[in-house]
Amino acid sequence: MLNFAAAIFLLIITPGPGVLSLAGVGAAFGFRSGLRYLTGLFFGTNLVALAVVTGLGALVLANPVIRLVLLGVSTCYLLYLAARIALAGSNIAFSPASRQPGVRDGLLLQAVNPKAYVVNTTLFSGFPIFPDAYGMEVATKFAIINVIWLAIHFLWLWAGSAVKRMALPPQTQRVINVGMALAMLAVVGLAAWSAF
């Protein structure tokens, strides 16, 4: 079980679309918006885990066309989120009254996030805990994954919103927002490169 917990920690803490976009939302829009987005990510990752456990995830990962479509949709969506984060706080940004990333955005990202499928497939297909009791194993893994997942994602959100709370000069905040957006684009580039 300790190996399983260590694997969860390492797979989830590494920068991916979910944690980077969460930190970016926290830095650009604050903790409250980040909590709504985090809620969507949480439900989305659990739906992906459920898809993996029921076998739907295997069908998705086994079909190169579906994987390519997911990669394309997630890339476009991450580009959209990166633009929203990069432009937050600038004079050409969305106004504070405009819709900020929320539950729906987090849910959508996880639904099309290929990393979420790969991570959950790795965690649920490996690391046997109760090899003779599949239901108990799945329930235990869901519990352990969610505890560690929540802790890590709250940490990323806190880090992003800490930048927002610093009340940095607008130019500095803009540089941070653009940096977060560029980091998300780097993840998109790496995902696209590994897919081909």
Question: Residue ranges per domain, the chain?
Answer: 1-194
- Buried/exposed 14-38: b ≥16 CB within 10 Å, e otherwise: eebbbbbbbbbbbbbbbbebbbbbb
Distance, in Å, from the CA atom of 30 to the CA atom of 192, rounded to the nearest integer, reads: 30
Summarised one tens digit per residue, pLDDT across range 84-102 is: 777 775 433 333 435 688 8
pLDDT in the model for residue 183: 75
Q: What's the predicted TM-score (pTM) here?
A: 0.78
pLDDT in the model for residue 97: 37
Q: How many helical (H) and strand (E) elements, i.e. helices and strands, does the chain have?
A: 9, 0
Summarised one tens digit per residue, pLDDT across range 142-162 is: 999 999 999 999 999 999 888
Which is nearest to 153 in space by CA: 35, 58, 66, 72? 35
